[in-house]
Every structure is written in structure tokens, then in C-alpha cells.
Structure 1
Amino acid sequence: MTPETLAKVRIYWLAMVACIGGFLFGYDSGIVGGVLTFKSFQTDFRYTDSQVTQVNSLTVGIQQLGCLVGCFAIWPVANRHGRKPAIILSSIVFCIGVVIEVINTHSRPAFYVGRVICGLGVGASSVIIPIYMAEMSPKEIRGRLGSSYQFLFTWGIFTSYWVDYGVKFMPDQTMQWQIPIGLQMVPGGLMGLGMLTLKESTRWLIFHGDHEAAWESLTWIRAGDSDAIRAEFDEMIDGVESDRRIQESFHPKELLEKNNFKRVLIAFGVFLAQQSTGSTALAYFGPQFFALLVGKGDQNLLLTAIFGAIKVAACGIFVIFIAERFGRRTLFISGAAVMACCMITTSAVVKLRPPPGNGTVTSAGIATVFLIYLDIIFYNWSWGGLPWAYVSEIFPPRIREPGVGIAVGTQWAFNLMYSFTTPYMMDGMGWGTFLLFGAFDLVIVIFVVFCIKETQGRMLEEINASFEGHGGGQVKDMSGGGTENYGETTVSSLKERTKR
């Protein structure tokens, strides 16, 4: 095997191991909605029909609370001990949670504890894995490998829906819900075991002054020692030192400065908008949503499974054909506008032609299912993965880490809010739930028109200059000695960072 081939094998192996975390995230997010419809689960955990809404809310929402805590709690581990130990720890914590979940204790509080612990592992891995992949990937394929995490997330959801659909035909016994819950252990365990075969992040090792181990890590993942690899290593050292100088003496109060605070508010708004489209709620409570459209019945798990397949296809099309061909604003606006039409029309049809309740699927029900499928396609073409890229682009290096951290926290916080409230919305509002999400989508369009700056195809320094009010990238002589400034960044510095 040639060094070039071996390098490809190793980097794609690294991506596969890391993206198991994305699959785990998706499977864990999607599996519980179907499990909550099983009579066997209700029987084993001993709650009545009048408690269904409360159990649905707590079972999904309490895990999102764990995710919110986990995404912040892992930072000290990852920064002090390394990316690799942090991901392995996330795997161990998640597997402990699965064990607690899958034991038939007949105790809902015990099951909830397992959900929280699983959430800690999922939240932690969702933050560290993308960072680890970005720090280890060659610049030529960094974007493609980064997109793979989101793609595997949709595959995880897809798999969870079909597992739920498959075990639906089992007898109403404990194994019916234990199998889909227990299968979480497979990606959870593989993620941790796979990390044992990989090296620590080269850039993390450089940051902590261990250049010998960093060189070993880089030559292993690049499968060789060449002039090009030595040049890349030197660039990494320069880049880490440059970032260290940029971030030196940072104080959190800097986030409250006018231009920085503007970015924080936009990042906050972007992830609030993402969660307010209703698509995350659909992913968690798919069978329950389809019951509003076509009535209760076994067909809802099948409709949810097809929903998962459409998510996978839509995400794949986005990654391959759409992501870099259209502007961020164009995708955000068109996505929210189409989703608004889908949700508002769905609410009107369900209001005027509600499902008969006898298991018969009417033409009105089929039409609304089609609208929800169209909604999720446009979500994956816009608000699904694009907010993550957009938020990472708008922060300058000095505040990028805390800025993105706040954005991720916002995502989990509103994920938590909608996880708790959606079952009560469906129970109390019925068709009005779709109308509410449609109204949110219209507000999102207005938010993008007035608040979102275009970043597609622009250098990070140019984006920074547009926020700082420097004309979006005019270059002029500011020193009299031949030094040119680009906003607040020198052109020589700009070229150096671009090279990296």
C-alpha cells in the first residue's frame, strides 16, 4: 500500500469513527418517539393514558437537559486532557446511561436518570467530535469530512425509525422496547473503542507544547514524513501560536462590546430559529405528529420511517449539490418561506378535514403527509446543517470559541424547551401546533432579511470587516510604510491565515 493510499485509509477511518458520534446522536434522538407509542413500555413503567403527555415530555426533554449540561461540562476535560480522552469519556458515560435505561426497573425516575446520563454523553460528543475532525483533517477535504457528521446524524435517525417500525410487530412484551433502546450501545461503544485506534489531535498537542507527540500524530495520520508534511506541521505551529496571541488576555466582558454582542445576538437568533421551525420536534415526536394528520394506528411508525429516509436523501443532496452553490441568506429565506407554506397549509387542512379516527387514511391525510415530507426536505436544505457553518463564520478568532459555545448552548436550550412543550402543544392545540410553527417560520424570514449578513464565498477576514463596519473588505494603505490593513487585519496576516 502506497503512503498516499494509507493516508486516505487512515483519515477516512478517523472520519468513520468520529462520525459514529453523529450516527449515535441521530439514533438516540429518533428512537424514543416510537418507543413511547408501545403498549409494552407503558405497561412496564406503569402509567395511565392520562399521563402519556407528561411521560412523553419528560422522556425526551430531560435528555436534552443532559445534553445542555454535557456540551459545557466536557470543555475542561477536552482542553486539559485532550480531545481523544474526552470522546472516550463521552462514550463511557453514554453507555452507562443506556444500561440504566434498558434495565426493566418499572421505575420511571430510574429511566429518566438513564436518559439524563445518556444526554451528558451525547451533548459532550456533539461538541468535541467536530472539533477533533477539523483539527485532524487535511484542508483539501475538511469540509467534506465535516459534512459527514451531519449526514451520519440523519442516518442515525433513519435507522432508529425503521428499528421502531420493525419491533412494532413483536408481542407487547418487555423485549419490544428493550431492543431499540439497547441497540444504542452499539454506536456508543464503537465510538469509544474506535478512538483507541486513533491519535490525539495534532493541534491540541502543539497548543500544550508537546511537539514530539504532535509530530508523531501528524505523520501517522498523513502516513509519511515528507517536505510537504513538515511544511504543514510548521504552518500548524505558526497557526496555533497566532491564535494563542489573538486570544491572549481574553475576558468574557468583551462579548458585550457592540460589534461582538451583535454577533452573539445573531448566533442566538439563528439557533432559536432553527429549533422554532418545528423540524426538531418532528424528529423527536414523529409518530405523534403523524397521528394528528392521519389518526392513530400502526401506519404512523411507517410514515415516520419514510420521513427518516427522506431526511437522509435530502441531507445527501444538500451536502453534494447545494451547500456551496447558493448564498446562506438565499437558503435561509427560501427554506423558511417554503416551510411556512407547508405548516400553515397543513394546519388549514387538518382543521377543515380532520382524520376520521377509524384507521382510514383520507386524501386530505395523504396531502398533509406530503406537505410534512416537503417541509423536512427544505429544512435539510437550509436550517438543518447550515446554521452550524454560518455561526462558526461570523465570529473572529479572538471570540470564536466562546461565541460558538454560546451558540451551541442556545441550540440545546431551545431544543430542551421544545422537547418539553411539544407534547403539551399537540395535546392542547392539535392542528394549531402546525399553525404556530408556520407563524414562527414567517418570523424567521423577516429575521433573516433584516439581521443576517451573507458569508458564502467570503474570507473570514472580510466577514469580520463587514461586522466591524470597515466596508466589507476594502484594502488601503494605512501606515505610510507600505503596510496594508484589511479592516483590523493586516494583509500579510490575512494571507498567512488563508494559507493555513
Structure 2
Amino acid sequence: MGAAGGGLSNQALSKVPAEVKKPIIWLCAIWASYCGALHGFNTSNIAGVMGMSTFRQEFGWDHLSSGTVANYRGWVTSSLLLGQTAGILLAGPIMETRGRKVIILMAAVTYTIGSLLMAVNFGSLAELLDGRVVSGLGSGMAYSAGPCYLSEIAPAELRGMLSTFYNAGIMSSIAGAYWINFASSQILTDKFQWVVPMVLQMIPSTVLILGYPFVPESPRFLAMRGQLEAAHQTLSRIRGGLDDSHEYFANEWSDLSRHIQSQAEENIFRASVILLKRVWTEKPVRKILIFVLIIQTFFIMSGGNSITYYSPNILKSVGFDSEKVLLFTAVYGLIKFLSVFIYAIFLTERFGRRPLLLIGATINLICLIYLSAYLGKANITTASEHASPAAVVAVVSLCVFAVGYGIGWGPSFSLAASEICPTAIRGPVVTLAFVYQNLLSFGITRGFPNMTEAMHPYGPFALFSACTFCGIIWVFFSFPECRGRSMESTETLFILPWYKIGFAPVEDQFVYTLPDDEKERTHEHKEDIASKSDV
């Protein structure tokens, strides 16, 4: 299997001219990956910060009951997701009218303001919550724009690799935040112990602001806006200076122009209304929307986000000494980053998205089953329990879970949302998907500490195990392989029945067509839109 996968990958990459692999495309991808870093820092550093003694003293938590502290933890952690949801909703129309670059700049500035509100704090819980919401607003805008920008600048043969740069940004910042927390707890002893992590989380937003003038806008966005000359020049720039005289560039520009022209009547100012109409009248578009929402559900219910948010608390439940919790979370974050990095650079274009997701989700399922069984049986009350073989296996399971998550659900949720959607409705679909994801994540994140306080700690892991099992079954039948496919052809897969999509041939030239009655309904729908656009 490995050899075959490698052969396919080498064959695909051999079609990419050397000019396309020049530094500009990699620099643009690295810059956009810092959109993920906004989200990564926001989600990971807060749990470690709230566990620091100086933070608890500053905010007076040492004198509160465990139930009250759990309630505060839930609100501080999950308030980010409320701001993030608002940011995603705000990003949609701006991204479709002003461009991907502009919304990324707005996201970086907003995130910086929120981080400052958290850092310049004198024990005010309200101010801390305000900072979390505002920084969430910024990371929410970047959450939509980052994957969209990456998928639209990438050549088809490298899209899987470049799109996972966003997830690499998330995971690297998660690892960085964990290590910053650990170093701060070891070096500092005063208020700066928790303030320094809040200040350093502004690093990715600073990179986005400083890099903004030097990166191009998405050529697909420019073409959708009717700026064909600018789109042509931008595509030539990010393809290493190729022009129409080169077959590779000519074919890509032709595909892009034809796809944009076929959807030109779908006015971007009415993108959301158009999406609703297409969902109602076109079965493939309806199936795409349902597909994207389903994968967001399994992504959240796999438990990866909850483990990231509450890893210190989980480690204490497993039996870790409190002094070692921050060190292990740093190691855990590093494992997640390395997994996504290896996935992006070495695996995704060699083996494809679908098999790696199946493997990663299966690894997660095994780890979750063991963790729920261990926490359900163990009675962690003595120091000797901390060193028991069962506890060691539980800690190893968390590490292995990070590997599975890094090659499975972690990168797949954003790849699916950005790769599969047609250009004309990608913005609204990605916005809707991420809003749904954040609302679901808010519910799980807000309730997690109270669930573990009121119930046995194994409960959430048992729930995540059941959901992951269902997710594996769904992926096996319904998750398509997008490796090597153009963005313009991927959507045709959804003409197939849901239980056949996962088995569709990988070849890019294999394009499905609608039945005659479906073609007629689609044609009438597009004529209706065109007539209204002419009014």
C-alpha cells in the first residue's frame, strides 16, 4: 500500500512544474497558517494559566468551592467560542466582498486587542471574559479566512499539503502555548507567571499584520469579483511566473475561468440566499452542506478539542501529580504538532485524506475506550496509584490519541469544508459550518468541567468513544478522496448516493454528471437567478 501510495504521489507531483514549487507559494501558505495559530493559542494556554497558583490568587479562586471554580472555568474557557462564532458570522460577508486578505488583517488586529485586555488585568473576571470574547472574535474571523485562502492559492497537486498548513499552525501554537506555560511556571513566581503567556499569544497576530502587505489576494476571489486581469496576474505570480504559453498554467487558468463563468450569475452579494436556493433545488449542493455539517459534528464529538481545553484536569483525573501536569501538556502539544506536520509534509499527498482519517479515527477510538474504562474502574486517591501500570498506559493513551487526532479528525475538518464546496458558495458554507461547529463546541466545552464534577470522569470519554465509532462508519461509506482532484470537479462526487461517495475513483478526469431530470431543474434554477440578476 505504501509503495502504491508513493507511486501515485510521485506521479502527481511530477506533473507540477518547478516554477510552481518556488518559495512564493510556500511563504503564502506559511503566512496564512498563522490564522490557525490564533485559534491554537486561544484554546490551549488558558487551561494551564487557570491552574497557576498566581492566577488563582489574583482572581480569588483559592477561597471558592470546587463547584464554583468548575463553573468559572467553564465560562472562561467557552466564552472564547461565543466570540469566535460572532467572528465567523462577521467574516462571511466581508470575505466575500472585500477579500480573504482584508478579513485576515481585521482578525489579527482584533485578536491583538483581546489579548491585551487579558494581559492588562488586575483580577477582574469580567475583563478576562471580555478579552476572551474579543480575541475569540479575531480568531473566528481567521478561522474562516485561513483555510479558504490556503485552498484557493494551492495547485491541485499540492492542495492537501498546503491546506494542512492551517492545522499545523493550530497544533504548533498549541504546543508553543503549552511550553510557554511550563517555562513561565518554572521561571516566574509573581503575577507575570500568568501575564507572560497572555502577552506572548500575540506573536501570530503580529506576524499576520507584518506580512499582510507582501502576500497576494486569492486569484479565485479576484475572478469572482470580475477582476480577471488581476486574477490572471496573481495566479501567474503564485505559480512562479508561468503564463499562458505554459500548458500547466493555461489549463489551470482555463478551468478556473470556466468554473467562475459558469457560476458568474450567482451574485456574491446574495451568496447566502443563493446557497439556500441551491440547497433546495440541487441535490448535490444539499448533500455537500449536509456532509460538511456531519464532519464538523464528528470532529467536535471525537473529544480532541475537549482534551486540548482541559488537559490539565484530565491528567489529574488520570492520576498525574499536579507539578508534572504542565510539563506533560507541553509534551502532548508537541506530539500533536509533530503528527500534523508529518501528515502535511509526508502523508497526505502520498496516502490521501480518506485512509489517513480512517486510521486516525480508529486510533482515537481505541484510546478513548481504554481511557473511559480506566477512569471508570480506577480509584485515584493514593500516591501509589499514580505510578500503577494502568495509569501509565492511560497517559500513553493520551499521547497516542494525539497522534491519531493529528492525522485524522484534526486536519480533516477544515480540508473538507474548503476543498469540497463550489467556489461561488464556499464562503457561506464554510461560515455556516464553522458557526455550527463553534456552537456545538461551546456546549461541550461549557459543560465538560461540570460533567466531570457531577458525574464520574469516565462519562465524557464514553460519549466520545461512541461518537467516534459512528464517525468511522460514516467516513468509510461517505468520505471521498480529494487528492489530485481539482476543486471544480470535486463537487460532482456528490451526485452519487451517499453510500458510494467514499468509493469513487480518485482520477481527476472522472467527473460525474446529473441525471436528465436533475439537469433540467438545475438549468431552470440558474436561469431564474440570471433573470433576477439582470433586473
The normalised TM-score by structure 1 is 0.85
Aligned to 1:72: 89
Aligned to 1:99: 116
Aligned 1:373-452 pairs, distance under 5 A: 373-392=399-418, 395=421, 399-429=425-455, 430-448=457-475, 452=478
Aligned counterparts of 1:369 and 1:247: Cα–Cα separation in 2? 52
Are 1:464 and 2:484 matched, yes or no? no
2:308 paired residue among 273, 283, 288: 283
2:97 partner letter? R
Aligned to 1:267: 292
1:460 partner letter? T
Change in Cα spacing, 1:258 to 1:4, as seen in structure 2 (3 Å) is closer
Q: CA deviation at 1:203?
A: 2.8
Aligned counterparts of 1:144 and 1:448: Cα–Cα separation in 2? 20
Q: CA deviation at 1:181?
A: 0.8
1:279 partner letter? G
| Partner-residue secondary structure (3-state), 1:354 | coil
Aligned counterparts of 2:103 and 2:420: Cα–Cα separation in 1? 27
Aligned counterparts of 2:512 and 2:336: Cα–Cα separation in 1? 45
Are 1:45 and 2:70 matched, yes or no? no
Q: CA deviation at 1:453?
A: 4.8
2:29 partner letter? A
Change in Cα spacing, 1:445 to 1:132, as seen in structure 2 (3 Å) is closer
Aligned counterparts of 2:413 and 2:172: Cα–Cα separation in 1? 19
Q: CA deviation at 1:467?
A: 4.1
Are 1:12 and 2:26 matched, yes or no? yes
Q: CA deviation at 1:348?
A: 2.3
The answer to whether the 8 A contact 1:461-1:486 is kept is no
The answer to whether the 8 A contact 1:102-1:178 is kept is yes
1:487 partner letter? L
Aligned 1:464-483 pairs, distance under 5 A: 464-467=494-497
Change in Cα spacing, 1:196 to 1:330, as seen in structure 2 (3 Å) is closer
Q: What per-residue deviation string (whole Å, max 9, x for no partner) do you get for residues 281-340 of structure 1?
A: 011111111110014411111111111121122223333444355576655555444433
Aligned to 2:212: 195
Q: CA deviation at 1:161?
A: 0.8
Q: CA deviation at 1:78?
A: 1.9
1:241 paired residue among 261, 265, 278: 261
2:100 paired residue among 65, 71, 83: 83
Aligned 1:155-194 pairs, distance under 5 A: 155-194=172-211
Q: CA deviation at 1:198?
A: 2.0
The answer to whether the 8 A contact 1:247-1:397 is kept is no
2:35 partner letter? G
The answer to whether the 8 A contact 2:96-2:427 is kept is no
- For the aligned residue pairs, the C-alpha RMSD in angstroms reads 3.3
- The size of the alignment, in residue pairs, is 478
Q: What per-residue deviation string (whole Å, max 9, x for no partner) do you get for residues 465-489 of structure 1?
A: 2149999989xxxxxxxxx983359
1:10 partner letter? I
Aligned counterparts of 1:238 and 1:456: Cα–Cα separation in 2? 20
1:298 partner letter? E
Are 1:119 and 2:143 matched, yes or no? no
Q: CA deviation at 1:418?
A: 1.6
Gaps of 5+ in 2: 1-16, 506-510, 520-535
Are 1:304 and 2:318 matched, yes or no? no
Q: What per-residue deviation string (whole Å, max 9, x for no partner) do you get for residues 236-280 of structure 1?
A: 444322232467983514324583444433322221111111111
The answer to whether the 8 A contact 1:470-1:487 is kept is no
The answer to whether the 8 A contact 1:295-1:358 is kept is no
Aligned counterparts of 1:217 and 1:313: Cα–Cα separation in 2? 32
Aligned counterparts of 1:470 and 1:298: Cα–Cα separation in 2? 51
The answer to whether the 8 A contact 2:101-2:217 is kept is yes
Q: CA deviation at 1:7?
A: 7.6
Gaps of 5+ in 1: 475-483, 491-500
Aligned counterparts of 1:201 and 1:210: Cα–Cα separation in 2? 11
Change in Cα spacing, 1:205 to 1:460, as seen in structure 2 (3 Å) is closer
Aligned to 1:149: 166
Are 1:363 and 2:393 matched, yes or no? no
Change in Cα spacing, 1:114 to 1:258, as seen in structure 2 (3 Å) is same
Aligned counterparts of 1:485 and 1:355: Cα–Cα separation in 2? 57
The answer to whether the 8 A contact 2:358-2:475 is kept is yes
Aligned counterparts of 2:461 and 2:207: Cα–Cα separation in 1? 38
| Partner-residue secondary structure (3-state), 1:298 | helix
Aligned counterparts of 1:404 and 1:317: Cα–Cα separation in 2? 26
Change in Cα spacing, 1:223 to 1:453, as seen in structure 2 (3 Å) is closer
Aligned counterparts of 2:81 and 2:515: Cα–Cα separation in 1? 39
Whose helix fraction is larger, Structure 1's or Structure 2's?
Answer: 2
Aligned counterparts of 1:147 and 1:213: Cα–Cα separation in 2? 27
| Partner-residue secondary structure (3-state), 1:173 | coil
Moved more, 234-243 or 287-296: 234-243
Aligned to 1:480: none
Aligned counterparts of 1:110 and 1:305: Cα–Cα separation in 2? 27
Q: CA deviation at 1:205?
A: 2.5
Aligned counterparts of 2:76 and 2:109: Cα–Cα separation in 1? 21
Moved more, 110-119 or 209-218: 209-218
The answer to whether the 8 A contact 1:295-1:355 is kept is no
| Partner-residue secondary structure (3-state), 1:486 | coil
Aligned counterparts of 2:419 and 2:98: Cα–Cα separation in 1? 27
| Partner-residue secondary structure (3-state), 1:384 | helix
Change in Cα spacing, 1:488 to 1:241, as seen in structure 2 (3 Å) is farther
Q: CA deviation at 1:397?
A: 5.7
Moved more, 371-380 or 261-270: 261-270
1:255 paired residue among 263, 266, 279: 279
Aligned counterparts of 1:230 and 1:399: Cα–Cα separation in 2? 25
Aligned counterparts of 1:169 and 1:38: Cα–Cα separation in 2? 11
Aligned counterparts of 2:512 and 2:398: Cα–Cα separation in 1? 50
| Partner-residue secondary structure (3-state), 1:285 | helix
